[in-house]
Structure 1
Amino acid sequence: MNKYILTLFFVLATTVASFAQANISPAKAQTKKIVIFGATVHVGNGQVIDNGYIIFEKGKITGVGDATVVKLNMTDAEMITANGKHVYPGFISPITNLGLAEFESVKATLDFQEIGNMNPHIRSIVAYNTDSKVPPTLRSNGILMAQITPQGGTIAGSSSVVQLDAWNWEDAALKIDDAQHVNWPVTPRFRGGFGGARPGFSADALAERTQKAVSDLDEIFAQAKAYAEGEKPTTSNARLAAMENLFNGKEKLFITADSQKDIVAAVNFAKKYGITPVIVGGDEAYLIIDFLKENNISVVVKQPHALPNNVDDDVNMPYKNAAALANAGITVVVSIDGYWQQRNLPFMAGTVATWGLGKEKALQTITLNTAKVLGIDKTAGSIEIGKDATLFISAGDALDMKTNKVEQAFIQGRSINLDNLHKQLDKKFSDKYRIK
């Protein structure tokens, strides 16, 4: 019996060791001044420097400008020549369960949703797994930060913003509990006739259920506001206490809503409690641009690579939505569903660039605009003096999947390892079949 136990232990230990070999240790802190020169610098605020330089030390950017009109002191710095290449601020992935899920078919690795409908006390940051194999695949496409977001229910909980090269969630955190996330109650579409009816539910019954959900949401917000403004009770209420920062402006409110009717209802609901929300999804936001501008609403456009929701919509509307909003003066952020899929975020921005937005404005939808909406724009989102040196060098256009080739990346000045599980598998099987 002991023989079998010992054998099993050896097999498990070997498996764990081999799995761990794919782990990549976080980079060490920057110790020497670094200068990147000769590259096309995409600042992230719309500005482009054709032959630029960037200086950073101790994790902060200390110089940015035109390399042709300045003399650089190279004696005490590590020089990186990047002629013909491009430098971008680190891309930021919003609204993702990255680090909260690993294998979709293994329930034990899924930790992005809790039981219950009203969960404002749920904090995604404490469940964030820095040992996940997924973040390194994102870094290889220039995504260096993410908003880790819970899902499910009417109130899903609070998200946090992290950088994607860390030992643990404490090291990763850039902004803890940046926003509460609400899924606006939506009446399921009732389709009568052959193949479209919902057995046991009439259109009125479905509408009544939705109204009940809205009433429940209104009730918990009213209680939370009273809780925040009143004297603190002897026994605290975790759910209500978790919503306190919504009312003092320290935490934002993200509401997922797609139809114009739901967007208007969600915005008016938030205004009732003195909150300016961020709309997530916004499939029909382009139909109510004036309303959004009047209420200073930012929109996180989800999944530009998608089909329209309505059969009579322009088939290309998901591609055009971001441009329609941004060109009207609305702050727009681009996102993509899932966690493995996050590596394609730059190409979502590339798509909206093609459909009416332009490259530099499209770049802002995954850099500076995202940083502003998440409340980290003082330290991230653009290549400017005083901000974190979170940036990367690409051989080509980083918004184009054909030319995106990240050669070197830095997070807070640390030169990070760009190896990942996908690259390892590619090399393994390329070697097997001698693919060059």
Structure 2
Amino acid sequence: MLIIHAHLHTMAGADIADGYLRTEGNQIAELGGMPVEPKPGEEVIDAQGAGLYPGFVDAHTHLGMWEDGLTFEGDDGNEETDPVTPQLRAIDAINPVDRCFQEALHAGVTTVVTGPGSANAIGGQMAAVKTYGSCIDHMIVKAPFAIKMALGENPKSVYHGKNQAPSTRMSTAALIREQLYKAKRYQGELERAEKDEDFDMPEFDMKCEALLPALRREIQVHFHAHRADDIFTAVRIAKEFQLDYVVVHGTEAHLIAGGLVETGTRVLSGPFLCDRSKPELRNQTPSTPGILSGAGVPTAIITDHPVIPIQYLPVCAGLAVREGMDYEEALRAITINPAKICGLDHRLGSLEVGKDADLVLFDQDPLTIAAKPKMVIAGGKLV
């Protein structure tokens, strides 16, 4: 496929005002300024000056975990029977034929991170997936991608009602630490058994096994944290166990931006196109991502779908611009920034040779509520 006369918003340097982009298979093969000569038999699309962007990336959703239009039958995001469940895998719950995948794709959102909710101190294994396909095994970008952990109100509220721990922030943090220490000890016993034939292998522990990739920094830990104190608890635990961590939501992160710069903390900001539905959200403001990015905190914008329907991801970025975020930085916050924060920028987030051919074409500003993609190309195919 060859797209000609497009304004390439590369997210990898300067834009190309009158450019072309060629795909081969499911990857970007070539791009540059016009003119270009089509190859024999190549499908040619004339963009007529429209803007071509990398497919949008939403780095925190529960897409396919809470199905659209269903209640209990389609609610598979929270296992509220045990506050520590790192062994649970999102890919075993995601329904890729939920119509919200199509709504995401039609809005130009081609990659998402999805997974468990925040009822548990440790909720399970998140997955980075494409929004196109019918079998989740064929849609995976990386799984497991991250371990979901949660601080603050949600674990407290769920288990206080069951008259069991955690019912305080202290208990939530202690449960996380306890399981990480168990996994660390399990890791040491495995390593010793491999080196010493006289030392028995430890009894298989599925919870500890699930945490080993996080302890080895092979996958990330995503901390659900709204309040400033919860954010710093996440940082404290992550530093203690040398985790590759990201703060999700960061509702009060704008109040502590300087501290987050000092600790090198990355934030997935949102949702903020919604009401302040609980006490933790009392300081919610759509100015947060702009304040964070302006201070130098690596920042992406998220919907937390279904809290905000995923097709409104670019609208959220537009709202952030209205509230002070630099326009180009807002575009980056739904393309290259989430890709970089999630360690997936070798495949996603920008128009560069060798990256996935996930592309979206707009003939107007994509961050306005009136904008709708003129064309979406996913995996090198016009969808």
Structure 2 unaligned residues grouped into runs of 5+: 194-200
Relative to structure 1, the CA distance from residue 310 to residue 214 in structure 2 (aligned partners, 3 Å threshold; closer, same or farther) is closer
Q: Which residue of 2 aligns with 1:81?
A: 46
Match of 1:163 among 124, 130, 133: 130
Residues 276 and 295 in structure 1, CA contact (< 8 A), matched pair in contact too: no
**1:167 is paired with a residue of what secondary structure?**
coil
Which residue is equivalent to 1:346? Answer: 314
CA contact (8 A) 1:118 1:154 kept: yes
Q: Deviations over 1:172-203 (max 9, x none)?
A: 111111100111144999xxxxxxxx9xx9xx
Are 2:253 and 1:288 aligned?
no
Instruction: State the partner residue of 2:349.
Output: 381
TM-fit CA distance, 1:313: 7.5
Aligned partners of 2:255, 2:155: CA distance in 1, in Å? 21
Distance 2:345 2:154 in 1: 36
Change in CA separation of 1:299 and 1:46 when aligned onto 2, cut-off 3 Å = farther
**Is 1:257 the equivalent of 2:225?**
yes
Equivalent in the alignment of 1:216: 175
Pick closer, same or farther for the CA change 1:354–1:66 going to 2, 3 Å: farther
Q: Tell me whether 1:40 sits opposite 2:17 in the alignment.
A: no
1 CA distance for matches of 2:121 and 2:97? Answer: 29
Shift in Å, 1:48: 2.1
Residue 149 of structure 1 pairs with residue 108 of structure 2: no
TM-score norm. by structure 2 comes to 0.88
Deviations 1:11-44 (A, max 9, x none): xxxxxxxxxxxxxxxxxxxxxxx11111211112
- CA contact under 8 A between 1:184 and 1:256: conserved in structure 2? yes
1:323 maps onto 2:290 in alignment: yes
Q: How does 1:2-81 map to 2 (within 5 A)?
A: 34-45=1-12, 47-67=14-34, 70-81=35-46
Which sits farther off after the overlay, 145-154 or 335-344?
335-344
Shift of 1:405: 2.0
| Separation (CA, whole Å) in 2 of partners of 1:346 and 1:383 | 18
Q: Which amino acid aligns with 1:116?
A: D
Question: Is contact 1:41-1:50 (8 Å) kept?
Answer: yes
Q: Deviations over 1:213-261 (max 9, x none)?
A: 3222211111112212322635310011100011111110111112222
How far apart, in 1, do the equivalents of 2:39 and 2:167 lie?
70
- Does 1:110 find its partner at 2:71? no
Task: Check the 8 A contact 1:278/1:299 in 2, yes or no.
Answer: yes
Alpha-carbon distance in 2 for matches of 1:333, 1:400: 18
CA separation in 2, counterparts of 1:371 and 1:409?
19
Amino acid at match of 1:210: R
The SS at the match of 1:245 is: helix
How far the C-alpha of 1:311 sits from its partner, in A, is: 11
| Partner Cα distance (1:285, 1:172) in 2 | 32
Match of 2:89 in 1: 123
Q: Match of 2:196? A: none
The secondary structure found in structure 1 opposite 2:286 is: helix
Q: Which secondary structure state, in structure 2, belongs to the residue aligned with residue 243 of structure 1?
A: helix
Task: Give 1:312 shift.
Answer: 12
CA contact (8 A) 2:22 2:31 kept: yes
Are the equivalent residues in 1 in contact too, given 2:358–2:377 (CA < 8 A)? yes
Instruction: Give the partner amino acid of 1:235.
Output: E
Change (3 A) 1:210 1:319: closer
Letter in 1 for 2:82: G
Q: Output one character per residue of 1:393-434: Cα deviation in whole Å (capped at 9) or x when no partner.
A: 1222221121x2222212221222xxxxxxxxxxxxxxxxxx
SS in 1 for 2:267: strand
Choose 1 or 2 for highest CA Rg.
Answer: 1
Q: CA offsets, 1:298-350, max 9 Å, x none? A: 00111122456779978xx6121101111111110111133371111110011
Read off the aligned partner of 1:229 and give its amino acid letter: G
Task: Report the AA paired with residue 42 of structure 2.
Answer: A
Q: Kindly indicate whether the alpha-carbon contact (under 8 Å) linking 1:391 and 1:409 is maintained by their aligned counterparts in 2.
A: yes
Q: For 1:58 and 1:331, how far apart are their aligned partners in 2?
A: 32
Q: Classify the secondary structure of the residue corresponding to 1:108.
A: helix
Of the structure 1 ranges 294-303 and 75-84, higher mean CA displacement relative to structure 2 is found in: 75-84
Tell me how far apart the structure 2 counterparts of residues 146 and 272 of structure 1 sit (CA, whole Å).
29
Aligned to 2:63: 98
Partners of 1:91 and 1:366 within 8 A in 2? yes
- Separation in 1 of the partners of 2:381 and 2:38? 21
2:98 aligned residue (132, 140, 143): 132
Give 1:210 shift.
2.9
Letter in 1 for 2:188: E
8 Å CA contact retained: 1:246, 1:252? yes
Q: How many angstroms does 1:94 deviate by?
A: 2.1
Q: Equivalent residue of 1:138, what SS? A: helix
CA contact (8 A) 2:217 2:244 kept: no
* Structure 2 residue aligned with 1:355: 323
Give the TM-score taking structure 1 as reference length: 0.78
Gaps of 5+ in 1: 1-33, 190-197, 417-436
Q: CA deviation at 1:294?
A: 1.8
Structure 1 Cα separation of the partners of residues 279 and 116 of structure 2: 28
Q: Deviations over 1:256-298 (max 9, x none)?
A: 1122222112101110011142111111112222221122110
- Structure 1's 312 and 396: CA in aligned 2 closer, same or farther, altered over 3 A? closer
Give the corresponding residue for 1:427: none
SS at match of 2:242: coil
